[in-house]
């Protein structure tokens, strides 16, 4: 309609313009709606699955490896609750009054054991080149969602803070992922290996029964977590590295455990493949999960928007924009180095003596000032 146009032609054009505008508005509205629906449905699609992952429910998990053997006891074994109460190591009763069920106080040597476990894990992983990190335990709820959790879903694991858009993180995975969100990571710093120390808060809604007695399932605990950000080609290798680090850690604590390749129904949306370690807990007379190592490939990074440009340093310096490969999403992995309550259960139950005292694993003794035993006090 720009430039010289006859009056009648002009009117025709104006009419056409109006109609097009209306139709456009209508279509754009439809597009918005479909788009919303698309993302709503789309983001429910879980990650791809590694071909070696066993298909089916929890029972179909495949044992990759067993380390150590069950200890032979010459006396009746006690569970960690009985041992701990006799040695005055925890108080669940008072915590139930102060905070509610599944909360607890740690006392006396248990506090030292907690600090020793944290220090030892951080030291071990720092030695292996992981960068230590201490994270906030409060995060915005959209960061929680970007990591693949549902803060406001039914049976959510996440506590929310009243009057804010903030939540309590259920694992360090969330604030660590958040640390790099919306960033373009330089190729030269990959892989990023971090060891994060945080406090995890979980509602454990829907979890009930005797299997969750004592320290096994609690609302709050300290955890040391490994996190790797790498380029896609290397994530499988790093997954193997993480699981072998975990194996080394728990073996040096003298525990007997099995490493499981978890089955498809047990993966959780973000995980492409997940290895769990279950330690033998003689007092509970079963294996209990003490750690989990997941390869989330690009599921989290697509949501957290963490990318890198796959170039060599030489090419990057050249800055010839036309020939640079496009940005790609990184792969993220996470693995538990030490979940304090489960470790305390494993240590108390496996290292118990006939008189109810506990031997402290050798590697932890220096971190407890050389203390070798936890013994009852003579009254």
Interface residues for another protein in 141-180 (CB under 8 A)?
Answer: 143, 159-164, 166, 168, 175, 178-180
Distance CA 54, CA 68 (A): 24
* Residues in 187-216 at the binding interface with another protein, rule: CB under 8 A: 197, 199, 201, 203, 205
Interacting stretch for another protein, rule CB under 8 A, among 25-33, 39-47, 136-144, 280-288? 136-144
Task: State the virtual CA torsion across 354, 358, 362, 363 in degrees, nearest 10.
Answer: 150
Contact between residue 60 and residue 54 where contact means Cβ atoms under 8 Å apart: yes
**289 a catalytic residue:** yes
Residue 137 touching another protein (CB under 8 A): yes
> Cβ contacts of residue 284 below 8 Å, gap of 6+?
79, 80, 211, 216, 345, 349
* Residues in 284-313 at the binding interface with another protein, rule: CB under 8 A: none
Cis peptide before 61 (omega within 30 of 0): no
> Helix, strand or coil for residue 147?
coil
Q: Which is nearer to another protein, 60 or 203 (by Cβ)?
A: 203
Distance CA 213, CA 102 (A): 8
Q: Which is nearer to another protein, 34 or 86 (by Cβ)?
A: 86
Contact between residue 310 and residue 335 where contact means Cβ atoms under 8 Å apart: no
Q: Build a one-symbol-per-residue string for 80-99: x at contacts with another protein by CB under 8 A, - elsewhere.
A: -----xxxx--x--xxxxxx
What is the full DSSP assignment across 253-311?
A: TT--EEEEE--GGGS-TT-SEEEEEEEEETTTTEEEEEEEEEE-TTHHHHHHT-EE---
> Which tokens go with 319?
């800055």
Which of 19, 32, 48, 126 touches another protein by CB under 8 A?
126
Q: Which is nearer to another protein, 179 or 226 (by Cβ)?
A: 179
**292 a catalytic residue:** yes
Q: Partners of 332 in the beta sheet?
A: 229
Residue 139 touching another protein (CB under 8 A): yes
Residue 343 touching another protein (CB under 8 A): no
> Which tokens go with 127?
């030695």
The single residue of 241, 342, 346, 349 carrying the catalytic annotation is: 342
Distance CA 138, CA 152 (A): 15
* Residues in 224-263 at the binding interface with another protein, rule: CB under 8 A: 254
Residue 76 touching another protein (CB under 8 A): no
Which of 49, 64, 67, 181 touches another protein by CB under 8 A?
181
Nearest Cα to Cα of residue 313 among 193, 182, 181, 190: 190
The single residue of 141, 202, 291, 294 carrying the catalytic annotation is: 202
The single residue of 217, 302, 309, 375 carrying the catalytic annotation is: 217
Distance CA 358, CA 350 (A): 9
Which of 49, 78, 103, 231 touches another protein by CB under 8 A?
103
**How many residues of this chain bind another protein (CB under 8 A)?**
85
**202 a catalytic residue:** yes
Residue 17 touching another protein (CB under 8 A): no
Residue 186 touching another protein (CB under 8 A): no
**302 a catalytic residue:** no
Distance CA 193, CA 228 (A): 5
Q: Which is nearer to another protein, 250 or 275 (by Cβ)?
A: 250
Interacting stretch for another protein, rule CB under 8 A, among 3-11, 47-55, 119-127, 305-313? 119-127
**127 a catalytic residue:** no
Residue 127 touching another protein (CB under 8 A): yes
Which amino acids are annotated catalytic?
A: 202, 217, 289, 292, 342
């Amino acid at each position: 309609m720009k430039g010289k146009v006859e009056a009648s032609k002009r009117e025709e054009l104006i009419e056409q313009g109006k109609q097009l505008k209306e139709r456009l508005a209508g279509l754009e509205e439809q597009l918005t709606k479909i788009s919303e629906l698309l993302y709503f449905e789309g983001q429910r699609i879980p990650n791809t699955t590694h071909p070696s992952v066993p298909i089916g429910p929890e029972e179909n998990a495949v044992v990759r490896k067993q380390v150590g053997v069950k200890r032979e006891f010459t006396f009746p074994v006690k569970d960690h609750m009985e041992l701990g109460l006799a040695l005055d190591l925890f108080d669940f009763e008072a915590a139930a009054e102060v905070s509610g069920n599944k909360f607890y106080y740690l006392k006396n040597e248990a506090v030292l054991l907690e600090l020793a476990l944290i220090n030892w894990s951080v030291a071990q992983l720092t030695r292996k080149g992981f960068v230590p990190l201490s994270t906030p335990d409060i995060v915005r709820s959209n960061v929680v969602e970007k990591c693949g959790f549902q803060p406001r879903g039914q049976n959510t694991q996440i506590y929310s803070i009243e009057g804010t858009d903030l939540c309590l993180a259920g694992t360090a995975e969330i604030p660590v992922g958040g640390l790099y969100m919306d960033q373009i990571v330089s190729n030269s710093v990959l892989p990023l290996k971090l060891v994060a120390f945080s406090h995890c808060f979980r509602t454990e809604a829907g979890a009930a029964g005797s299997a969750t007695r004592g320290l096994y399932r609690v609302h709050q605990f300290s955890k040391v977590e490994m996190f790797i950000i790498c380029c896609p080609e290397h994530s499988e290798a790093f997954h193997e590295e993480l699981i072998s680090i975990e194996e080394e850690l728990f073996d040096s604590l003298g525990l007997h455990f099995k490493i499981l390749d978890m089955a498809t129904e047990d993966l959780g949306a973000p995980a492409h493949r997940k290895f769990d370690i279950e330690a033998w807990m003689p007092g509970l007379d079963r294996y209990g999960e003490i750690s989990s190592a997941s390869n989330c490939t690009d599921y989290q990074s697509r949501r957290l928007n963490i990318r890198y440009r796959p170039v060599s340093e030489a090419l990057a310096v050249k800055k010839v924009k036309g020939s640079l490969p496009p940005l790609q999403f990184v792969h993220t992995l996470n693995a538990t180095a030490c979940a304090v309550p489960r470790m305390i259960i494993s240590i108390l139950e496996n290292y118990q003596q006939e008189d109810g005292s506990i031997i402290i694993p050798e590697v932890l003794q220096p971190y407890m000032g050389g203390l070798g035993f936890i013994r009852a006090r003579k009254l």
